[in-house]
Structure 1
Amino acid sequence: MKTLRHLVAVAALASAAAFAGAAAQTADPDLDQDIDLGEIRARAAEQTSEADALAASARARAEQVAQEARTSAADAQAHGRRFAGEAAKNAKPDPGQTFDFDRMIADAGTMASADMGEIPRLIAFASTSMPPAALRTMIDDVTRAGGVIVLRGLPQNSAKALTAALSKVARPSEQLASVGIDPRLFRAFGIEAVPTYVVASSDFDLCDGFDCTTAVPPHDRMTGNVSAAYALETIARGGGPGALLAAQHLARLERPVP
């Protein structure tokens, strides 16, 4: 019995040795070759260098594009200031008129070149077809709040008709500097009815062409026969994109008049 167990053990050891030998003969011969760590490091360094060069090129191109954009913006602002200056020089007030149409155009140009496209705006869209009392109240409130009142264009395509309409709401010698004409704003925000109050969350640039579209920023609006204070308070409470700015304009509107 002892001899049988001894033979079994010897056979098991022999089988294990044979299996190990077979495994050694079928192993991948490439594993016996030396790994060239130097070559691997060289290739990695080369790839890293190429990636760094590509990133540097991308950064340089981005800076060039940004500089071109800043230059274009500066040129546009300078052009706007020159245009407004020429309009102011050529404006010829008529002492016989309560409302000076030419002066309004010059002042509106100065206001647009100085402010529009640089800071967020409160924009009140109006029309000379509104009741004079309602238009007068809108002008007073929006001006105090730090916004602008915008008309789509000349009524009946006549400067005289505009002068006659605004003369009904303008006080003696008042220039209505916060009132302007800009159909681009009506087109940009898709204004179909007045009065409409818009509070934009950020500045924006108007598209000058008829075939282009202005990318307006996120904004809040209210349309209806309501006061500027009501519109601003509602927008501020709504928590929308223009809420913070509406609250600031409302605080300015409610500030006591000195």
Structure 2
Amino acid sequence: MRAAAANLLTTLLTTASVVICESARAQAGLTRQYNDSSQQSSADAARVSSTDLSALAAVYERAAGTVASQETGPALLILVSFSMPPASLVRLAEQARRVGAVLVLNGLKEDSLTATAQAVRQVFGAAGAPLQIDPRVFKHYGVTAVPAFLLRRASVSQPPCATEQCPADEYAMAVGDVSVGYALEQIAAVRPGWKPLTDTMRLQMEK
């Protein structure tokens, strides 16, 4: 059982870049901790329950599916944090699933895979929304408050722009503890040319 858990954990960390980007793993020291040759891998993985691992695996599958369906065209990212009220996170996760958006976290909860897996299961498990852990998004778009609703020209599968600060004409953003629908209205107000896209997304939420 422990070996199986370690293998699944290693697979998630080495292949699921959609869920946990390389910089986030390095920040928490996961590249070293969960190397196949490390004895600590099995011990730490065993402390993550099979339920928690299943939750992470399910999130990965949902995120991978979202990326596959949004290889081109704009993407809506909802930047969140576990410091937000759980009720707000659940509400946004449900709305993200309906509109086809991706939730983005700045890093692992308490720099711990175990804590992150448990939080994912408890907060996002029932909503079914895809989730990324990618601090680059926060840095390159200058996000300092959450929740933030980021509509960008680049697709979900593309990383943030290569520069430290993304060009302003490549994205639009709304910030505040509001619904996805309201955030899309605010984005359309500052970017009238994107209104057809935001209207389509809002209609998608109503289905």
Q: TM-score range by the shorter chain?
A: 0.5 to 0.7
Residues of 2 paired with 1:203 and 1:177: CA distance? 17
Q: Say whether residues 1:228 and 2:205 are aligned partners.
A: no
Residues of 1 paired with 2:176 and 2:132: CA distance? 20
Equivalent residue of 1:242, what SS? helix
Residues of 2 paired with 1:235 and 1:153: CA distance? 26
Change (3 A) 1:103 1:141: closer
Gaps of at least 5 residues in structure 1 are: 1-81
**Identical residues among aligned pairs (%):** 27
Q: Which residue of 2 aligns with 1:253?
A: 205
Q: Which residue of 1 aligns with 2:114?
A: 160
Q: Is the 8 A contact 1:229 1:250 kept in 2?
A: yes
Equivalent residue of 1:118, what SS? coil
Equivalent residue of 2:145, what SS? coil
Q: Map 1:85-234 to 2 at 5 A.
A: 94-97=49-52, 100-105=55-60, 107-108=62-63, 111-112=66-67, 114=68, 118-171=72-125, 174=126, 176-201=128-153, 203=155, 205-206=158-159, 212-213=163-164, 215-216=166-167, 217-234=169-186
Q: Is the 8 A contact 2:93 2:129 kept in 1?
A: no
Q: Is the 8 A contact 2:93 2:124 kept in 1?
A: no
Return the letter of the residue paired with 2:198.
A
Change (3 A) 1:180 1:207: closer
Q: Is the 8 A contact 1:122 1:147 kept in 2?
A: yes
Shift of 1:156: 1.3
Larger of the two Rg values belongs to structure: 1
